[in-house]
Amino acid sequence: MSVILNNESWQVPDYKADEIRPKRFKYCVCVFIINEGEKIRSQLRKMSGLTQAIDIIIADGGSVDGSLDLEFLQEQNVCTLLTKIGSGKLSAQMRMAFDFALKQGYEGVVTIDGNDKDDSKAIPKFIKALDQGYDHIQGSRFVPGGKAVNTPISRLLGVRLLHAPLISLSSGFHYTDTTNGFRAYSRQFLLDLRVNPFRRVFDRYELHYYLAIRAAKLGFKLIELPVSRCYPESGKTPTKISPLRGNLLILGTLFKACMGRYNPKYSKKAE
């Protein structure tokens, strides 16, 4: 049986919560963004029809492009806008989003990037898997039914030949798409003392890798679901990761996660 951590012990970046609509459903989808401009607005228009089944929460890393005015978010049936004030990158945004979602009582959290590359029509499949008792749900372009459209060859080779094989080897679960942020997590998984995602060590890209490995190592119920991710046909690949320093950081983070460097000191399952 998982035990809820003392909230005072959670290390969460400072953030502001603008609650636009009250909580209505048992699950929420957290959309991670920073300065995505028209891409996030396009994505939210596509997602607005999903609000009959799930609450939408925006987890903003501190955008300054004016794309998230509250009137627009209200029109798209967004439930809450979270704005990170404290330091940190994606993993800090994830800690912020999980902190809010768990304190609101959500039974599971779907995560998706806010750059309009993922087909949000797959979200109901994640909801169904959470209802079926899955704890870590990984979206994959590379399982039957999934689609990888215009994926840059460097990304494709990196995932297929390095990233996914290393995480699969370390975790003991066969993953195919470990850089894909389209995922879902159960409440019991996020609140397990042996997982403890609420630590400052998770500041950049560590949490995605760590949670995938930790879920399998601890025997949680896992599944990959088919999703579609579409890159632009031409032009510069949209990314927040610098070609040299950013990719070296990702490699270092990957190796640390595979070696268990992010595992919490607490290892005995709480009763």
Query: Is the predicted pLDDT of residue 3 greater than 60, yes or no?
Result: no
Q: Which domains does the chain have, with CATH numbers?
A: 10-258 (3.90.550.10)
- CA-based nearest residue to 90, from 10, 33, 135: 33
d(CA 25, CA 31): 16
Q: Which residues pair with 32 in a beta bridge?
A: 59, 113
Task: Look at the pTM and tell me if it is higher than 0.85.
Answer: yes
Q: What would you measure as the largest C-alpha separation in the chain, in angstroms? A: 54
Using CB atoms within 10 Å of the CB of residue 100, give its burial: 0 to 12 exposed, 13 to 18 middle, 19+ buried: buried
d(CA 195, CA 211): 8
Per-residue pLDDT of 211-245, as tens digits, reads 999 999 999 999 999 999 999 886 555 455 545 46
Residue 177 DSSP SS3: coil
Residue 32 DSSP SS3: strand
DSSP 51: G
Per-residue pLDDT of 48-94, as tens digits, reads 889 889 999 999 999 999 999 999 999 999 999 999 998 999 999 99
Per-residue pLDDT of 129-145, as tens digits, reads 999 999 999 999 999 99
Sign of CA dihedral 208, 242, 12, 266: positive
